[in-house]
Amino acid sequence: MTSSLIAMGVAIFAVVNLVLGLAALSLLLGTFETLFGKPKLTILRPSRGGNIFAFGFKWNSAKEPAAIDTIRIRLFNPFGSPTQAEVMQKIEDKKTSFAIEADMGPGLIALLGAQGLEKAMVQIELSSTRDGVAFQFDMRGPKFKKLVMQSSDSMDGFIKKNKLGVVKAAKPPIDVPIRSFIADTVPGRGPQLKLATNPVFAGEFAGAGGGATAPAGEVVANFAVLKVWIEPGCIVCNACEDIYPEVFDVTADTCLIRPGAPLDNGLKILESAEACPVEVIKFTRAS
């Protein structure tokens, strides 16, 4: 009875700790998302005066895809005049983080000069009319006016800091040797590997001793292999496994050497290496 109670207590303790651990992890992930993954609006210093509202917007466009095409600035001013106001401007579709200067018209100047702005709230909304997505940012009136009039963040600085518009250098193309061992369709069999180990073409390699590269009539002696391996770059074409399945095992993303693979038929390993279009099969002969 005592042992059962102890075991139950240990189990309950473990479950409680697991629940608390999961809760702590969830809180940590939530905090991380709030600090680093949350959409962020930065009011910037415009390059010219007048009705220009400059800002930068950064968000995870992969997680929340949208083509931002509208900006609205709303004033909620219950203790002043006007009590409500809104200025709106359409912009070119932006599908990733961006920084722009938008001409909001004279309404922006009127909004900034509203009576009672010190007690008002300002809401900035960036939205996509096509996707039905909107991002809203609220701040006190005095803060909004100060940022618009005195922001120290420039457009160039924001773009550079967030690496906007930087085009990643394209990787050089992989030069794959054009080598084909596929013969024309064999009646009743379909396409075939035209190699010495394929019995369909045995007559064409007669006298070559099993070596695919030996000239007709020349006998090539077989040899043992000390080690065979696959270098990076396998394109899983299955040619080597078709030739020598006892040695080569082609998986979903690479080729492996089977454990305990026979290494006494060097000609078949050589043939497999020569059939590899990317030449990643390597081996060393036994002395």
Span 192-236, pLDDT tens digits: 555 665 666 666 655 444 344 454 445 557 889 999 999 999 999
* Residue 135 included in any domain: yes
b/e for 43-81, b at 16 or more Cβ within 10 A?
Answer: bbbbeeeebebbbbbbbebeeeebebbebbbbbebeeee
Domain span at residue 58 reads: 40-161
* Residue 229 included in any domain: yes
Decide which of 15 and 127 is more confident: 127
In whole angstroms, give the CA distance from residue 270 to residue 282: 9
Burial of 275 (0-12, 13-18, 19+ CB in 10 A): buried
147 and 217, same domain (yes or no): no
226 and 152, same domain (yes or no): no
- What is the structure's pLDDT at 216? 45
* Residue 210 included in any domain: yes
97 and 142, same domain (yes or no): yes
In this prediction, residues 271-277 reach a mean pLDDT of: 90
230 and 195, same domain (yes or no): yes
* Residue 131 included in any domain: yes
186 and 250, same domain (yes or no): yes
pTM for the model: 0.49
196 and 256, same domain (yes or no): yes
Q: What residue ranges in 166-279 does DSSP mark as E strands?
A: 182-186, 190-193, 225-230, 248-250, 255-257
In whole angstroms, give the CA distance from residue 101 to residue 115: 26
157 and 189, same domain (yes or no): no
In this prediction, residues 56-60 reach a mean pLDDT of: 90
Decide which of 205 and 70 is more confident: 70
* Residue 15 included in any domain: no
Helix and strand numbers, DSSP H then E, in the chain:
6, 13
How is residue 83 annotated by DSSP? Answer: S
Q: How many domains does the chain have?
A: 2
Q: Is the pLDDT assigned to residue 36 strictly greater than 60?
A: no
